[in-house]
Structure 1
C-alpha cells in the first residue's frame, strides 16, 4: 500500500511566519538545504516520512493536525506512545509510518492499550500511595474525590470552557474587565454589589440578591471573585450537567465540585481559551507578561496554562501545583507524565520548596524523574495580603513546568543545558513511592521495598533500601 503524498507548503510558511524564522533557519532546524525547503514551501515536492517526523518533534503544537487524515492522526498518536520511556529502543520514524499505514487496526489497538496502560498506572499509583498512607483502609475524603475527578478529566471541562468563552465574548474586549463583570451582574442578573471585609472573601445572599466582596484583596483576586459568582449564576445549567455526570458519592463531594467548576469557569471567563492560548504562544508562556495582558494574578495565569487541553487546539502539556510553607501540596494537576504525590509532600529536592522561602523571585530547575524523563520547572514564592493587620498574609509557592522536549515553547528554559548528564536534579514523586536507593534527602524508605539495618554502619539514613 503506497503512502499518501503530503504537500504542506502553506503550513511550513505559517510556521516560519509565526516563529519569525528565515528559510535558512528553518532549513537548519530540519537538517535540509534552503533550496529543498523552498521547493517544499512551493509544493513542488511532498514531505518525506523522515521530515514529517522531524516537524512533529520540532514543532509539536504547530504541526498537530497537519494532514488531518486518519493515517496522519494515527501516526501522531503512535509517536506519542512510542516516546514512552517504557520502550528502551523506540521504533524509528519509517517503521512507525509503515505500521500506521499497513496495520491500521493493530496500530489503533496498540494506541488504545498504551492509553489504558498509562491510565492504569496512574490509578495504581493512587491505590499504592493510599495503602502506604495513614489514611489506608478509609474511603476517599470529598476533597480527594474531587481532586481525582479533575485529574482524570485532564483538568479540562470542554462544555464549561466553551460556555465561559462565549460569555466572555458577550462582555466584550480581549478579556472582561471588572467594570464589565459588575455591570453584567447588576443589569443582567439583578445582583447588588457590596464591598466589605466583614463577611469573608466572598459572600452571596441568594434570597436578597446581594454579593459581598472583601475590598482588601488584590485587584486580581477581587475580579476573580466577581467572575466566580458570575459563572455560578450565568452558567449554572452547564455546571449542573457536569456535576450530574460526574458520579460523585456524597453531597459534600458534589458541593466541592460545584465550587471547583465555578473557579474553573471564572478562569476560562477571564482568560478565554483561544485568545489566551494564542497570547501564551506569542510570549512563549512568559507568565508575568500574560498576567499583565489579561489582568490576572501570577497563580491564576499558571493554573489556566495547565488547562489548555482542548482537543482541536491543545496547548503545551504543563504540570502545575501550589505548595504551602509546610510543604503541603494544596493544588495539583499534571498534563505531563509527571504525577504528584496524593498523600504527603513532594520531593524535597524539587525547587518549589526553596521558592516558598523566597517570595517574588522566580527559580528555574531542570529535573529528572526515576523513569528518565526530564522536566523544566519554574517556581515562584508568593505572598497574598489579607487586608488587615489582624490576619496574617498567606504565603505559598506555585510551580509550572513541562517536559524538556517542549522546552522551546517555555521561556524559562532559556539558558539551561537540557542534555548534559549531570545538569538535571534527580527527583522523585514522594519518598513513599520513590525507587531511588541513593537519595541523601530520603525521609523514609519506599513502601514497596524491604530495608536492611546494619548497627555497625551508618550512612545518611540508618538503613539500606533493598
Structure 2
C-alpha cells in the first residue's frame, strides 16, 4: 500500500496555481480520484507517484524530501527516552504522517525542549562569564543572532537572487560586477598594490565614490569584495530594517550585524539560491565542482551550503565551521542536531584539527556524538596569503558535514562505510559525558571523578 500524501498534493497544487481539474488532467487521472488523494481517502499508488515525479520533477522531489526529513524527525523524536513505553509506535507514526501540520508542531515542540535541555547542560559558560547576558561580547551576540535566524535571511537572500539575474552572468563575472557598480552606484573600481600588504582587503571612499582593492587578492576574493560593496549599496534599506528589528543593544553589535549581513548578501549574489541549490544537488555537494562553477573560494562555497534553508526549497541540512591553528572556532553554524560549544575548543578527535596542519588536502570522517547521532564530515586546511613577508599567512581549516542519513547526497561519504563504526567525539570536553576517552583535556562538569594515587592512565582521573 502506498503513502497518504493529501497535504503534500494540496500544497503542490497551490504552489503551481492549478485547479483540481487541471491538475488531474496533467496527471491523467479523474478529478474525483485526485480529490480522494488530496483528502487522504486513498493512498498514493506507484503509477501516480511516477507521474508526479515526471510532471513536477523538482517541486514534487522537494516535497518528498521534506516529507522524508519530517518522517526522520518523527522517528528521532520517538527514539527519545522521553517517549519510552509508548505502544504501537508504527501506528503513531502513520497518524502523524497523515497530519503533517500537527507533526510539524510536535517536532518543533520537541526540538525546543531539547534545546532547553542543551542550554541547561552548558555549565562551561559559567567558567567564562559571570552573567549570561552581561558577559557576552558583541561578536558573540551577533554570532548567536545568525544562529537563531537559522543562518538564512529570507528578504536579503531573495533580493540578492533577483539582483544576480539582473546583473547578468550565471554567476556574474568581475567585469559584470564592476560595470554594475559603476552604472548603478557611480562607484569606480581601483587597484592598490599596498592595500593588501597593509592588511587592508577593501577600502571604500564615499566622497570620491572609489572602491580600492589590493592587487594581490585572489580572483574569488576580489569578486566577493565587489559583491560586498554592491550588497551594502543595493540592499542598504533591507539591512537597516533587519538591524533595527534585531534588538541588539549596542552600536558595536549593530555595526557587526550590518557587516555580517553585507557578507551574507555578497554570498547570495555570487551564489544565487535556486541556481546554486540545483547545481549542489546535481554534483552531490562536491565543493570543488561548485566553486569552479560559481568562481568562488572553498570557504565561501562551504559557508553558502550551510545557508540553504529556504522554507519552500530546503537544502541538505549541513553544519559548517572554521577552526584556526589554536583550535578556536571562528565561524560556526549548524542546521543539524550537532551544536558547537559556545566556549572552549572543539573535540580533539574531530578531523578538522588534523586538517589545519595539512593544507589543501580533503579529509573525511564518520563521527558519532554521545547521543548516538552519526555525522559525515569533510575538512580541508586552507592558507590565505598575507601579501607581505613581514605578515605571516593565515592558516585555518573549514569543515562541512551532515547527518549520516544524508550520506547519499554528500559525495565525500562515498569512501566511508556509513554503517560501520564511527569515531566517538563530543562537543567539548567539559560537556562530553564519555567515560573512556584518552584525549580529555578537562573532566565533564556534571560528572564526579575519582583519582587513584596508585594507578596512572593516559587521563589522571576516572569519570564516574
Structures share fold, TM-score greater than 0.5: yes
User: CA contact under 8 A between 2:370 and 2:424: conserved in structure 1?
Assistant: yes
Counterpart position of 1:146? 142
What does residue 82 of structure 1 align with? Answer: 75
Distance 1:5 1:166, change over 3 A: closer
Q: CA contact under 8 A between 1:61 and 1:316: conserved in structure 2?
A: no
Shift of 1:41: 5.0
Between the aligned partners of 1:197 and 1:61, the Cα distance in structure 2 is: 49
Match of 2:48 among 23, 26, 43: 43
Kindly indicate whether the alpha-carbon contact (under 8 Å) linking 1:61 and 1:314 is maintained by their aligned counterparts in 2.
Answer: no
Q: Deviations over 1:96-131 (max 9, x none)?
A: 122454x78865653342132133245445x53311
The alpha carbon displacement at 1:42 in A equals 3.4
Question: Shift of residue 136 of structure 1?
Answer: 3.7
Match of 1:134 in 2: 128
Question: Secondary structure in 2 aligned to 1:173?
Answer: coil
Q: Which residue of 1 aligns with 2:369?
A: 369
For normalisation by structure 1, the TM-score amounts to 0.82
Q: Which runs of 5+ in 1 are unaligned?
A: 12-38, 48-58
User: For the structure 1 residues 78 and 414, does the alpha-carbon distance in structure 2 shift closer, same or farther, using more than 3 Å as the test?
Assistant: closer
Note the alpha carbon deviations across 1:322-373, whole angstroms, 9 max, x for none.
1111111111110000111111211000000000111111001000000000
Q: Describe the SS at the equivalent of 1:249.
A: coil
- Counterpart of 1:191? 187
**Counterpart in the other structure of 1:440:** 438
Cα distance in 2 between the residues matched to 1:208 and 1:302: 35
Task: Determine the structure 2 residue equivalent to 1:167.
Answer: 163
Distance 1:4 1:411, change over 3 A: closer
* Structure 2 residue matching 1:383: 3-state secondary structure: strand
What stretches of structure 2 of length at least 5 have no aligned partner? Answer: 13-43
- The answer for the alignment partner of 1:402 in structure 2 is 402
Range with greater deviation from structure 2 (315-324 or 107-116)? 107-116
TM-score, normalization: structure 2?
Answer: 0.83
Which whole-Å CA distance do the structure 1 matches of 2:49 and 2:219 have between them? 55
The CA deviation at 1:456 is 1.6
Q: 1:92 to 1:238 in 2, by over 3 A?
A: same
Residue 460, structure 1, aligned to residue 453, structure 2: no
Once the 2 structures are TM-superposed, how far is the Cα of residue 291 of structure 1 from its aligned partner?
A: 0.3
Counterpart secondary structure, 1:293: helix
Cα offsets for 1:423-460 (capped at 9, x unmatched): 31000000011111110000011112222222122111
Q: Does residue 256 of structure 2 align to residue 280 of structure 1?
A: no
Q: Distance in 1 between matches of 2:344 and 2:145?
A: 19
Residue 245 (structure 2) aligns with: 245
The reply to whether residue 118 of structure 1 matches residue 114 of structure 2 is yes
Task: Please tell me the root mean square deviation across aligned C-alpha atoms, in Å.
Answer: 3.0
Q: Which moved further from structure 2: 150-159 or 113-122?
A: 113-122
Partner of 2:449: 451
**Which of 97, 102, 110 lines up with 2:94 in the alignment?**
97
Question: How big is the shift at 1:187?
Answer: 1.4
Q: Does 1:314 align with 2:311?
A: no
Structure 1 238/192 Cα, relative in aligned 2: closer, same or farther at 3 Å? same
Residues in 1 aligned to 2:72 and 2:363: alpha-carbon distance in whole angstroms: 32
**How many matched pairs?**
416
Secondary structure of the residue aligned to 1:42 is helix
Aligned in 2, Cα 1:109/1:235: closer, same or farther, shift over 3 Å?
Answer: closer
Q: Measure the CA separation in 2 of the matches of 1:173 and 1:289.
A: 18
Q: Deviations over 1:229-284 (max 9, x none)?
A: 11011110111111111111211011001111111111000000000000000000
Give, in whole Å, the separation in 1 of the partners of 2:232 and 2:211. 12
Per-residue deviation at 1:388? 2.2
How far does residue 188 in structure 1 lie from its aligned partner after superposition? 1.0
Q: Distance in 2 between matches of 1:183 and 1:144?
A: 37
CA distance in 2, matches of 1:435, 1:402: 22
Q: Take 2:455 and 2:366, find their aligned partners in 1: how far apart are those partners?
A: 34
For residues 338 and 290 of structure 1, what CA distance do their matches in structure 2 show? 25
Give the Cα separation in 1 of the matches to 2:446 and 2:123.
9
